[in-house]
Chains A and B, each alone.
Chain A
Amino acid sequence: MPSWKRMPSLREVQASFIDALLGSDTAPAAALVDGDGLPPRARLEIYRHHAIDSLTAALQAAYPVVARLVGDGFFRYAAHEFIRAEPPAGPCLFEYGEGFPGFLATFPPGRSLEYLPDVARLEWKLNAAAHADDFVPVDLGRLLGLDPDDAERVTFQLDPSLSLLASPWPIDAIWHANQPEVDPDRTVDLDAGAVHLEIRRVDDNPAFRRLAPPTFAFRRILLTGFPLSDALRAAHAEDHAFDVTDALRALFEENVLGGFRLSPETKASAS
């Protein structure tokens, strides 16, 4: 057993303790612990077990569909490796796990499930939508004041819970087929083609739906903060007949618009 040559500082004690919980070297921490009738490692193991267990539960809560797709043993293994590689940066666990989809994409045992990272991305966006800021949609009078000639310099603020996700896999069907009440033998046609999804909180519930590719392109550019004219160009690249009036009316009727801003000359905002 290694020993400390002098009494370690509190920082050194805590660094060795965290290494014992998240790393693999328990010896320096064990040397600091009074066994009291048990091997010090067994006492450290109680803390390690509960730390990993509670963080695994947090990931399971954020990624229930991934957990059902891969099974409990695989999920626990993946979660364990992820937690050690990317432990939480802070104590709000509803914010923990954003990196899990990217981790799954590079996790060798998961490579055969090519759609898994995109399913995980969908689950994270649903989780983020649940906790996004509240917002007040723009009123129609304000929107009617918008001059069509301002397309080059108008940008929109959208519902902060809204996000977009495109995937070559039918991840919406995979998600629906892996809800708790659904027959586990239900199958999904993985060759059904690409999907373009919009994720939002509607009436307090995170939800998603498919968008047509031109609408997806239009909203993606607006969401990024570029002007209306750029969004229109992106939509027209998908569909020459894409209609800006219809597109703006849809944003309004769906209560997606939080406001707009004219730049650079004028700083107007509806919000």
Chain B
Amino acid sequence: MLAAAVGIGLRSVHVADVIATRPAVAWLEVHAENYMASGGPTLAALGRIRESYPVAIHAVGLSLGSADPLDARHLRRLRALVERIQPALVSDHLSWSSLGGRYVNHLLPLPYTDEALHLVCDHVAQAQNALGRRLLVENPSSYLRFRESPIPEPDFLADVVRRTGCGLLCDVNNVYVSACNLGLDPVAYLDALPVDAIEEFHLAGHSVNDADGVPVLIDDHGARVAPEVWALFAQVLARSGPRPTLIEWDANIPELSVLVDEARRADAVMEAHAVAP
């Protein structure tokens, strides 16, 4: 069980620094797919870090929404990593990334239909069986919606939770990015999520791009958390109570101290707004 405190996403440029300086953060999260080699110093370093910190494993490769069956080899490798690291949490996304043996390394959007709901539920259940533990499913950041997508995303997630018993990883920045890009109300979105299922929050920065003269928010994890996202985080905390929360940074990665500073800020927001359960 992970404490309801703030951790940071561990990226390769910071591994040596974390081992040397042991920064005061509550836990660390790593991307599963970077640690799936069967040997070598990268995996060994994660083992050393695990001796000092609780670790969560965040996967990007299960492709839970793919019309193809789950990749059995990938699931085996994830299970091996989970057995080795004994993480506090394991998560992946409500998205898909591969079809027909082509993997595109992007969290692609789903049409929210009954067909997709059944498929995602089957895949989440299979993954949970294979891993022998509960999986957390993260809400994606979206740049489009399909014409034929009758189920609102938070309702879709609530159904997946109800049918599979999985937990939710609520990425507050993703909620804000998707809401801006698709003209949704982020507060209504968060209100519609089954708050008791939220076992982890993600916070990250985004950038604003121009697409044919229209501003589009890009979830690039390349900046500090935006003020609007801090405000949403405070609002959802008032309903959810304190939860394990992660600062992610994947582009223009700054010094480790900047991530630690951002984590302190998240701690302060949680302290001020979370109602203890």
B277 within 8 A of A: no
**Does the CB pair A33–B103 fall under 8 Å?**
no
Q: Chain B residue with minimal CB distance to A131?
A: B37
CB distance from B193 to the nearest CB of A (A): 22
For residues 1 through 40 of chain A, which have their beta carbon under 8 Å from a beta carbon of chain B? 7, 9-11, 13-15, 17-18, 21-22, 32-34, 36-40
Choose one: A21, A34, A45; the contact of B211 (CB below 8 Å): A45
The stretch that binds A, out of B20-28, B141-149, B166-174, B225-233, is: B141-149
For residues 166 through 205 of chain B, which have their beta carbon under 8 Å from a beta carbon of chain A? 181-183
**Does the CB pair B111–A91 fall under 8 Å?**
no
A91 to B116, alpha carbons, bound, how many Å?
21
A132 to B60, alpha carbons, bound, how many Å?
22
Choose one: B38, B66, B104; the contact of A51 (CB below 8 Å): B104
Choose one: A10, A36, A42, A92; the contact of B113 (CB below 8 Å): A10
Q: Chain B residue with minimal CB distance to A33?
A: B144
The stretch that binds B, out of A63-71, A82-90, A178-186, A228-236, is: A82-90
**Does the CB pair A130–B148 fall under 8 Å?**
no
- Residue-wise, chain A 43-59 has the 8 Å CB interface mask toward B (1 for contact) of 11111001100110010
**Does the CB pair B105–A204 fall under 8 Å?**
no
A17 to B148, alpha carbons, bound, how many Å?
14
**Does the CB pair B39–A42 fall under 8 Å?**
no
A119 to B212, alpha carbons, bound, how many Å?
41
A191 within 8 A of B: no
For residues 167 through 199 of chain A, which have their beta carbon under 8 Å from a beta carbon of chain B? none
**Does the CB pair B39–A133 fall under 8 Å?**
yes
Contact residues in A for B96 (Cβ distance below 8 Å): 14
B40 within 8 A of A: yes
**Does the CB pair A15–B144 fall under 8 Å?**
no
**Does the CB pair B105–A38 fall under 8 Å?**
no
Choose one: B39, B44, B106, B214; the contact of A50 (CB below 8 Å): B106
A131 to B60, alpha carbons, bound, how many Å?
20
Interface residue tally on B, bucketed by range: 35 or more
**Does the CB pair A58–B212 fall under 8 Å?**
no
B162 within 8 A of A: no
A40 to B118, alpha carbons, bound, how many Å?
27
Choose one: A40, A87, A160; the contact of B144 (CB below 8 Å): A40
A170 to B104, alpha carbons, bound, how many Å?
35
A93 within 8 A of B: yes
A134 within 8 A of B: yes
A125 within 8 A of B: no
Contact residues in B for A7 (Cβ distance below 8 Å): 148
Contact residues in B for A74 (Cβ distance below 8 Å): none
For residues 20 through 72 of chain B, which have their beta carbon under 8 Å from a beta carbon of chain A? 33-34, 36-42, 44, 60-61, 63, 66-67, 71
List residues of chain A with CB under 8 Å of any chain B CB: 7, 9-11, 13-15, 17-18, 21-22, 32-34, 36-40, 42-47, 50-51, 54-55, 58, 87-94, 130-135, 160, 201, 204
A-B complex: 5 closest residue pairs judged by Cβ atoms: A91-B61, A131-B37, A134-B39, A11-B67, A43-B144
13 contacts between A and B (CB under 8 A): A14-B99, A32-B146, A34-B146, A36-B144, A40-B144, A42-B214, A43-B143, A43-B144, A88-B103, A132-B39, A134-B39, A135-B39, A204-B41
Q: A22-B102, A44-B144, A91-B63 are in contact. List 9 more A-B contacts (CB 8 A).
A: A11-B67, A11-B99, A32-B146, A38-B212, A51-B104, A54-B105, A92-B36, A92-B74, A131-B42
